[in-house]
Amino acid sequence: MDTILVVNAGSSSVKFQVFSIEGEGSLRRQIKGQIDGIGSRPRLRASGASGDPLADRAYPIEAVADVPAAMGIAGEWLRNELRIDPIAVGHRVVHGGPDHDGPVLVDHGVVARLERFVSLAPLHQPHNLAPIRTILAGFPGLPQVACFDTAFHRTHSAVADHYAIPHQFYAEGVRRYGFHGLSYEYIAKTLPQVAPDIAKGRVIVAHLGSGASMCALKGGRSIESTMGFTALDGLPMGTRPGQLDPGVVLYLISEKGMSASNVQNFLYRDCGLKGLSGVSNDMRELEASEDPRAKLAIDHFVYRIGLNAGMLAAALQGLDAFVFTAGIGENSASLRARVAEQLGWLGVALDPAENSRHARLISRAGSRIPVYVVPTDEELMIAQHTLTLLMKAPSSNPRQERVS
Ligand code: ADP
């Protein structure tokens, strides 16, 4: 069985999935796993295609001190215990910089170029690149593909891509990149089957997970995103504030004496729903809480989604459909109902029964704007990109050097 391994590495976890290549290049998910608690309480968990548990084991902290070590353990487990021998590996890489508008086959030169973007995504890029380097060193003949969260947004116009700061900064890479691109690309590719009538039109997609953003799609292409230079901008998130007056950052530095790294930690880890509620960054816990600050955090989240929808509708010069996706968007009927209420002025009217049962189409028949719930699948998108590039690269011989 030919397989593709998909890797999504963060600072404290390495998530992985294995897809088998079926007839005519279709892909079937076989394994879903992750090593989390890297450097604290490492644990490997994995399940099979139907959710059947395949592994749940703890490791001593010294055995999994960093991302390369976690990659090594996951690779050994796949090879030695499951006899998984992938013909290629696809990686999620948060930043492709200004030049990458699609995935690329990776070699040492590409890794060196992607290294330049570490300063644009210091909390993500180094961890995304670490497993690529580990595999390049151990299995130099194994094709690897980097898939970028920024690439899908490279279709933005120059006016959308700029900040109103001196041009030299744009030239050196300070641009409104936008993120969650693999998720939006998956939705854009799926919409023609879900709703062929509106797939060519003007659609706002709300990716509401721990990270949250919204994207304006016109004819299936991204024209605007709520995120900009970094994944801090736009909507409030689990632990990130979203849009913030830069004056607040100046206040933290000048009045609170915070260093750059203190501010960075604060903005990435202590703000958003967690900071505002003082209760949790997790929407399920906020929805279950009686604490008025939890209610305020949800109200704020809904309000900002509404404001940003207005902004994206202006960028699109109208609206033909609204799509919810990701953890909160796919699972929280009450949050969707609150957002729909906020969008009532645009002509959104939900069908409460369809919303409660998480149907694909959750708006009423008479709703001027149809509203959909479309589960995202960034890993499948990465596997598809990896397979496509593999097929296009006749020089790469995937059989030459396998993981085992
Ligand atoms: P990420 O991939 O960015 O880590 P997810 O897309 O998995 O995030 O989304 C995580 C968020 O989804 C969390 O805030 C979690 O509480 C929320 N979530 C998941 N299931 C539900 C649910 N049934 N009701 C409300 N929120 C949910």
Q: DSSP string of 223-239?
A: EEES--SSTTSSS--SS
- Using alpha carbons only, give the angle 304, 302, 305 rounded to the nearest 5 degrees: 40
Residue 395 has a pLDDT of: 58
pLDDT by 10s per residue, the chain, length 404: 899 999 999 888 999 999 999 988 899 999 999 999 998 899 999 999 899 999 999 999 999 999 999 999 999 999 999 999 999 999 999 999 988 999 999 999 999 999 999 888 888 899 999 999 999 999 999 999 999 999 999 999 999 999 999 999 999 899 999 999 999 999 999 999 999 999 999 999 999 999 999 999 999 999 999 999 999 999 999 999 999 999 999 999 999 999 999 999 999 999 999 999 999 999 999 999 999 999 999 999 999 999 999 999 999 999 999 999 999 999 999 999 999 999 999 999 999 999 999 999 999 999 999 999 999 999 999 999 999 999 887 655 444 443 32
Catalytic choice (2, 56, 66, 149): 149
The closest alpha carbon to 96, from 210, 205, 185, 199, belongs to: 185
Describe the chain by its helix, strand, coil percentages, rounded to 5. 45, 20, 35
Q: Give the Å distance between the CA of 22 and the centre of ligand 1.
A: 31
Residue to mutate, 273, 274, 283, 379, ligand 1, most ligand atoms under 8 Å from C-beta? 283
Q: Which two tokens stand for residue 57?
A: 């084991």
Minimum-distance ligand 1 atom for the alpha carbon of 326: 6
Contact 303, 313 (CB under 8 A): no
How much is the pTM?
Answer: 0.94
Alpha carbons 227 and 178: distance in angstroms, whole number: 5
Beta strand pairing status for 3-9 and 88-93? Answer: parallel
Would you call 104 helix, strand, or coil by DSSP? strand
Residue having the nearest C-alpha atom to atom 4 of ligand 1: 210
Q: Give the Å distance between the CA of 369 and the centre of ligand 1.
A: 25
DSSP 321-352: EEEEEHHHHHH-HHHHHHHHHHTGGGT--B-H
Would you call 385 helix, strand, or coil by DSSP? helix
Q: Give the Å distance between the CA of 208 and the centre of ligand 1.
A: 8
Q: Give the Å distance between the CA of 385 and the centre of ligand 1.
A: 26
Category of 255 on φ-ψ map: left (φ > 0), alpha (ψ -120 to 50) or beta: alpha
Alpha carbons 310 and 134: distance in angstroms, whole number: 44
Beta strand pairing status for 88-93 and 144-148? Answer: parallel
Alpha carbons 166 and 184: distance in angstroms, whole number: 30
Residue 149 annotated as catalytic: yes
Minimum-distance ligand 1 atom for the alpha carbon of 287: 25
Residue 394 has a pLDDT of: 63
Measuring from each residue's beta carbon to the nearest atom of ligand 1, which residues come in under 6 Å? 209-211, 238, 282-284, 287, 326-328, 331-332
Residue 123 has a pLDDT of: 82
Residue to mutate, 331, 374, 377, 378, ligand 1, most ligand atoms under 8 Å from C-beta? 331
